[in-house]
Chain A
Amino acid sequence: MTRRTFALFALAIVGALVLQLADTRLAVSQSTLLYARVAPFVPTDDPWNDVWSQTNVINLPLSAQLIVAPKGGTRDGVKVRALHDMERLYVLLEWRDVAADTAVGSVTAYGDAAALQFPAASSTEVPPLCMGSPTAIVNIWQWKAAWQEDARADFTKIASSYPRASVDAYPFGEDPVYAPARELGNLVAARARSSPVENLHAGQYSTLTTASTQPVGGTGVWRDGTWRVLFTRAFVSGEDGDARFALGDSIDAAAAIWDGGASERDGLKAVSAFFAVRVTSLPLTGPPVPMFPGILIWPIATAVLLGGLALLGRPRRRAR
């Protein structure tokens, strides 16, 4: 080994050790980026409002969740948009679904659902996509069509699904002893809902836990074979397990979709890879320009530079 090669090796090893000790990388990942622009007003009860047609959209491919049983998931893509008003973040998911499944009145019926996952504010590293890890908690917002239906048309009871069912006698109907989940505050059993979106924390699969505060709002509206679900939350939230947002920051996010009509629930879901949401100060300036100018920027730049390189690469005469 020559002295020069030895020096290069020493440089590489010292460089790698410095990077390890500094807990930094001399490389960056190449992930999809979603801009959250500033909108003066975003109606929280209308995911089909025109304001959403003025912002950019990314189309994320989804794949079936295949890590932990039960495995599955049928939706193959979801469109994502984001806005903010300097105080709250709004994220809109849109996907095709031929039927709106909102009723869960029997043991074989499942409702449509959608979720967003962010690293918790307490996480110091990018968590594993599959529900985080014990050292990198994730914050999950799950919108449930059934919860929204509960809020709209009263809590779904047996009588909702079987209106002709008759009960001879049930003397302890309101006794909390016979409704322990509701008495203990289990949101699944709650009769009064303030939001169709559940705020959850997870530190690995099988650790999903309802957060102690429920600051996430949302609305889902199904129209002509398409769901649009709007999630919203204030930038800052009190819990360490919650995500935090700030102007100028980028945060990793991932989406998941459940098709209740295909009996999807729990791990039966379609999931995206991580993408990045950047909270920018860019204002909404009307409908986004067609995508072609944006896409052509780099090929045109490449062609121009390649021409320059071709001129530069002409054979040069050596100086005698």
Chain B
Amino acid sequence: MRADLRAQALWPLFVALAAAGLIELAFFRVAYRVGLFVPRDGPLVDAYGLLTRVGSLAFDLVSVIGLIALAGLAVESWRARTSARTAAFAAFLALATTLPFVPTNVSDIAHGLFSTAAVLTVAVIVAPALVDRASGAANKLALLLVAVAVTAAQYGGAVSGTASAFGTTGELARAGVHIAEIAAVAAAFPLAISALAARRIDRSGAIAAFAATAILASAVIAQPYLSGIMLLWAAGLSLLLPLPAYAAAFAAYIVAVATEAASTGRAHRAIGAILLIVAGVVPQSSAHVVVAILGLALLARPRALTPRPDPT
């Protein structure tokens, strides 16, 4: 109970992290990269400069809030006397904080350790949820698939970083990325089923899912080359699966977010799903790996993070 109360202080941070992450995704990873097509003079350049500046600030906010939230979870685990979780969170936090500052001659080892700590943290997050009888089968499957996606993406990175000192690594790194992509797409469906099992989707949620999917699908169909490269850069999606699979998965993610947000006591799961979308399939930076793991931690939580209503 005490740990739960302390966790509630983290709730606004997770909400802010999701908001900053969405801004960063839209302005820094997407808008910034279409700068090639912005005319070199006129008001568009100023607007472009402002948006990318906001996106850059949002990225820094994401990196800082992510580490603070990670520290909060480590403290929460320590107070709950869960030693394994505490050790994993603390190790991951230490490596995520120091990774940007390690000398280049040891950075590949540091990247490997960071990936290892990320996988360990995923394991200590997901393992209790998988054996928890209160957790539904769909939720367990979703957690397992997300864990596979994060693990495959991290081992792809660690393999290509460290093992390149030993031999050819391209095929294995690519295999890791493909496994991550397939698992991330597949995870959307049990996530939506788990949300719909708790509450029926309302009209606004269905409209949001349909509209968002229609806009994305239209963009991909109208500009397949540009959309493809933007999805690759922004979210690490290589589009190896048929396009309808991505459209359906995206709709399922939106359904999960909308339904969980409207469900009593499950808003933390909506934020968790948003954080997974923000992180992308193959995180491009260590900050996005932190975001993915925080999203997974929220989805695996049996209890709410939101402050309880004051009984008075």
A residues adjacent to B (C-beta < 8 A): 1-2, 4-5, 8-9, 11-13, 15-17, 19-20, 24-30, 32-35, 56-61, 63-64, 66-68, 71, 77, 79, 128, 130, 133, 204-205, 248-250, 278, 280, 282, 288-291, 293-295, 297-299, 301-302, 305-306, 309-310, 312-313, 316, 318
Contact = CB atoms under 8 A, between A and B. Distances in A.
A291 B285 contact: no
B284 to A, nearest CB: 6
8 contacts: A8-B68, A9-B16, A27-B286, A29-B284, A56-B165, A68-B36, A130-B36, A295-B159
Nearest to B166: A294
B56 A12 contact: no
Nearest to B58: A16
B88 A309 contact: yes
Interface string B15-56: 010000000000000000101100000000000000000001
Contacts of B162: 294, 297-298
Contact of A28 (B82, B112, B285): B285
A66 B239 CA distance: 14
Given A19-B63, A20-B57, A27-B287, 4 more contacts: A27-B288, A59-B171, A67-B226, A313-B84
B144 to A, nearest CB: 16
B56 A205 contact: no
A288 B170 contact: no
Contacts of A133: 35
B135 interface: no
Contact of B12 (A5, A64, A66): A5
B288 to A, nearest CB: 8
Given A25-B60, A33-B160, A313-B82, A289 B166 contact: yes
B112 to A, nearest CB: 5
B64 A12 contact: yes
Contact of B112 (A19, A66, A298): A298
B8 to A, nearest CB: 9
A192 B107 CA distance: 45
Nearest to A313: B84
CB-CB nearest 10 A-B residue pairs: A59-B170, A313-B84, A291-B167, A294-B166, A294-B163, A27-B287, A66-B225, A16-B60, A15-B64, A309-B84
Given A128-B36, A312-B83, A32 B161 contact: yes
Nearest to B53: A20
A28 B59 CA distance: 12
B312 interface: no
Interface stretch (B115-123, B245-253, B261-269): B115-123
B87 to A, nearest CB: 6
B201 interface: no
Given A29-B285, A289-B166, A294-B163, A5 B9 contact: yes
A251 to B, nearest CB: 11
A293 B166 contact: yes
Given A5-B12, A306-B123, A294 B165 contact: yes
Contact of A4 (B9, B173, B284): B9
Contacts of A2: 9
Nearest to A58: B164
A27 B229 contact: no
Interface stretch (B98-106, B185-193, B210-218, B271-279): B98-106
Given A59-B168, A66-B226, A130-B36, A301 B60 contact: no
A253 to B, nearest CB: 13
Given A56-B166, A56-B167, A291-B166, A33 B161 contact: yes
B65 interface: yes
Contacts of B167: 56-57, 288-291, 294
A61 B172 CA distance: 12
A249 B104 CA distance: 8
Interface in B220-276: 225-226, 228-229, 232
Contacts of B116: 298, 301-302, 305
Interface string B144-166: 00000000000101111111111
Contacts of A5: 9, 12-13
A26 B60 contact: yes
A220 B76 CA distance: 60
Interface string B165-199: 11111111110000000000000000000000000
Nearest to A311: B84
B130 interface: no
B168 A35 contact: no
Contacts of B173: 32
A205 B36 contact: yes
Contact of A61 (B124, B158, B170): B170
Contacts of B112: 297-298, 301
Contacts of B155: 298-299
B83 A9 contact: no
Nearest to B288: A27
B124 A59 contact: no
A212 B248 CA distance: 53
Contact of A309 (B120, B226, B287): B120
B140 interface: no
Contacts of B225: 64, 66-67, 71
A318 B68 CA distance: 28
Contact of A318 (B12, B81, B115, B119): B81
Interface in B71-128: 72, 81-85, 87-88, 97, 99-100, 104-105, 107-108, 111-113, 115-116, 119-120, 123-124
A5 B9 CA distance: 6
A24 B211 CA distance: 38
Contacts of B174: 61
